Amino acid sequence: MTIGLILLLAVSVMIFLGIAHRVLDKLYLNDREALVGVLLILVGGFIDIPVYKGVQTISLNLGGSIFPAIIALYVLIRADSPGETGRGIAASVGTGALLLAITKLFAFDEGRTIIDSIYIFSLIAGVVAYLIGRSRRAAFVGAILGVILLDIAHLIEVVIKGIPSNVHLGGAGAFDAVVIAGIIAVSFTEVLGETIERLEKTQSLNNQDDESDK
C-alpha cells in the first residue's frame, strides 16, 4: 500500500470521527462531500483507462488525476471572492511551473537523493501553493492542480518531441504526490493560519488594554 493510500485512509477516519470538521469548513466541504471525494480517489487509484497507443502509450489513472482535479475545481468555484479564485489559479500555474523547472534543473535519480523525489515534489508543491494562494482553499487547489499540470506538461513534451514512452497520467508516483501535496498545503495553511489568527487576537487584546490604561 502506497503512502498516498495510507494518508487517504487516515483522512477518511478523521472525517468520520469529526476531527477534520474545522478544515472542511474552511474548504466549504461538508463531511459527506469530503468522504465521497476521498472514496472516489481511493477507488479511482485502482482504475487505469487506456487513452492512446502508438509512439507514446498513454493511460489515465482516475484517482491520481481526474477525481482530484474535479474536487479541486469544485473547491475553486466556491471561493469567497474573484481574488481568491485568481490566487487559486495562480497557485496552480505557479506550482506546476516551478515543479517543471525543478525537473529540468535537477536529476532525481533513485538512490542519489536523501528522500524520494515524490516527497520532495509534494513538499514543494504544498508550500509554494500556500505562499501563492494565501488561503486554505487556494492552497489546496494550487497544490493538487500544480502536480497534475506537471504530469500534463510531461505528456505534452514527449508528444511534441516524439519520444517513445509510456505516459501514465496520475499514476504511480503522481497519485501519491497529488494526495500528499494537497494534505501538506492544507495542513501548512491551517497551522500557520491558526497561529496568525491567535497572534492578531492577542495583539488586538493588548491594544485594547493599552487604550483602557490611558
pLDDT tens digit at each of 214 positions of the chain: 778 888 888 998 888 888 888 788 888 888 899 999 999 999 998 899 999 898 889 999 999 999 999 999 999 998 888 999 999 999 999 999 999 998 888 766 554 444 467 778 888 888 888 888 878 899 999 999 999 999 999 899 988 988 898 888 888 677 888 988 988 888 888 787 677 667 766 776 666 655 665 5
Asked if residue 207 is part of any domain, the answer here is no
Query: Are the CB atoms for 142 and 94 separated by under 8 Å?
Result: yes
Structural domain range at position 100: 3-201
Asked if residue 35 is part of any domain, the answer here is yes
What are the cell numbers at 143?
497544490
Asked if residue 206 is part of any domain, the answer here is no
Rounded to two decimals, what is the model's pTM?
0.85
| Other residues' Cβ atoms within 10 Å of the Cβ of residue 64 | 30
Query: Are the CB atoms for 58 and 167 separated by under 8 Å?
Result: yes
What is the residue type of 7?
L
Place of cell 495542513: 187
Asked if residue 105 is part of any domain, the answer here is yes
Distance CA 73, CA 77 (A): 6
Looking at the structure of the chain, the number of domains it has is 1
Asked if residue 28 is part of any domain, the answer here is yes
